[in-house]
Amino acid sequence: AQAKTFKIATVSPDGLGWMKKLREGVKEIENRTEGRVKIKLYPGGVQGDDFTVLRKMRIGQLHGGAVAASTLTRFYPDLQVYNLPLQFRTQEEVDYVRERMDQRIIDGLAEGGMVSFSLTETGFAYMLTNEPVADIEDLKKVKAWVPEGDPISARLIQSFGISPIPLGLQDVLAGLQTGLIDAVAVPPIVALALQWHNHVKYVTRLPLLYIYSMLAMDQKAFNSMSPADQQVVTEVMNRVFAEVDADNRLDNRKAYDALIAQGIQEVEPTSEQLEAWRAKATQSVDELVAAGEISSESLTILRKYLQEYRAGQGN
């Protein structure tokens, strides 16, 4: 077959560890397909944000993008099943469920026209605040920042009755410094990268929701490779992103520890307070199912695995 160049974009900056891994993977693919499959990478958001990348995939300028899962909702709404608030309690639960359920998401996306590879963890979003937040009622006392136009934060607002302080990303650091806002809900790794950790005092020990991303390729572009080449790409990309997934897990652990080592105090909700949080979350998840945003089938499967795991743990 003829040599073809595939263009893949991401908003993640160049020079990060995972980009190095991806570049090595790209080289391996080129070698093993004897130059038939070349991949060009466009990191740092130079091709636009996730939604722009999807637009460019539609017209064929780009062929793939490493994007946040939540931007692919329209290809398979049920991929949000991992993003539901307070479903997972520990990372072990995540591992147990993902081992059994990732393929369902990958298949669902394929049906919607998107080829995807190993899903990659961004991490649990935690509440980082300047006033201790243990009780769900405490949320009313803080001015919580939420990123605009982000479906996941919209969900948090809905679920827990947060009154939102919408701001552009560029205003958040200064906003935390001046007291314009005093709470953010992000994975520790993100807080560290954007230097927000220097301006918060507390972290609530409650994984609010799980955020993940993936490399998605346009199916037409993918199918233009020979089946043998497709297999090489799939194998290499699955391996690369499984490694990135594991690395991110490690980085998130380190980032959380770094927050604590820096003197940020952990706030631990009591079991009654936890019940209140979970009751609210369950209520909002049921509403989402009722509204048809996510199928009850996927939710049932998720809950089944969670119960299975918790039963095995003797909980």
Partner 1 sequence: MGFIRFLHRVEDGFLVTSLLTMLLLSLGQIFLRNFFDTGVLWAESFSRMLVLWVAMLGAMVATRESHHIAIDVISRYLPAYAERTMAVATSLFSAVITGLAAWYSYEFVSYEYLDETIAFADVPSWVCAAILPFGFAVISLRFLTNAIRFAFRIEKWDH
Partner 2 sequence: MGSLGSGILALLALLGTPLFVVIMAAAMLGFYFAEIPLTVIAIEVYRLIDTPLLLALPLFTFSGYVLAESQLSTRLVTLTQVFLGWMPGGLAVVSFVTCAFFTAFTGASGVTIVAVGALLFPALVEAGYREKFSLGLVTTSGSLGLLLAPSLPLILYGVIVQQMDLPQPFTIQELFIAGILPALLMIVLLTIYSLWANRGQPIATREFSKAEAIAALKAARWELPMPVIVLGGIYTGFFAVSEAAAVTCFYVLLVEVFIHREVRFAELPRITREAMVMVGGILLILGVSLAFTNFLIDAEIPQALFEWISTFITDKLTFLILLNLVLLALGAILDIFSAIVIMIPLIVPVALRFGIDPVHLGIIFLANMQIGYFTPPIGMNLFIASYRFDRSITELYRATLPFMAVLIVALLIITYVPAVSLLFLDR
Distance CA 238, CA 241 (A): 5
Q: Which is nearer to partner 2, 47 or 298 (CB)?
A: 47
> Which range, of 30-38, 167-175, 286-294, 307-315, touches partner 2 by CB under 8 A?
167-175
Answer for which of 1, 107, 151, 174 binds partner 2 (CB under 8 A) is 174
Q: Which is nearer to partner 2, 40 or 140 (CB)?
A: 40
Six-digit token string for 47: 């091709």
Q: 296-312 vs 91-111: helix axis angle to the nearest 10?
A: 150
Q: Which does 112 bind (CB under 5 to 8 A by kind): partner 2, partner 1, none?
A: none
Q: According to the binding rule CB under 8 A, does residue 164 interact with partner 2?
A: no
Q: Which is nearer to partner 1, 121 or 182 (CB)?
A: 182
Q: Which does 148 bind (CB under 5 to 8 A by kind): partner 2, partner 1, none?
A: partner 1
Q: According to the binding rule CB under 8 A, does residue 179 interact with partner 2?
A: yes
Distance (Å) of CA 177 to CA 73, 99, 112, 202, 211 = 34, 41, 43, 15, 26
Q: Which is nearer to partner 2, 111 or 148 (CB)?
A: 148
DSSP secondary structure letter of residue 86: T
Q: Quick one: 194 exposed, middle or buried, by C-beta within 10 A (0-12, 13-18, 19+)?
A: middle
Q: Which is nearer to partner 2, 195 or 283 (CB)?
A: 195
Phi, psi torsion values for 48, nearest 5 degrees: 105, 175
> Which range, of 23-31, 155-163, 191-199, 278-286, touches partner 2 by CB under 8 A?
191-199
Q: According to the binding rule CB under 8 A, does residue 55 interact with partner 2?
A: yes
Q: According to the binding rule CB under 8 A, does residue 175 interact with partner 2?
A: yes
Q: Which does 164 bind (CB under 5 to 8 A by kind): partner 1, partner 2, none?
A: partner 1
Burial 89-127 (b: 16+ CB within 10 A, else e): bebebbebbbeebbebbbebbeebebbbbbbbbbbbbbb
Let me know the angle formed at the C-alpha of 80 by 109 and 269, rounded to the nearest 5 degrees: 155
DSSP secondary structure letter of residue 51: H
Q: Under the rule (CB under 8 A), what is the footprint of partner 2?
A: 7, 13-17, 40, 42-49, 52, 55-56, 59-61, 167-168, 170-171, 174-175, 178-180, 193-195
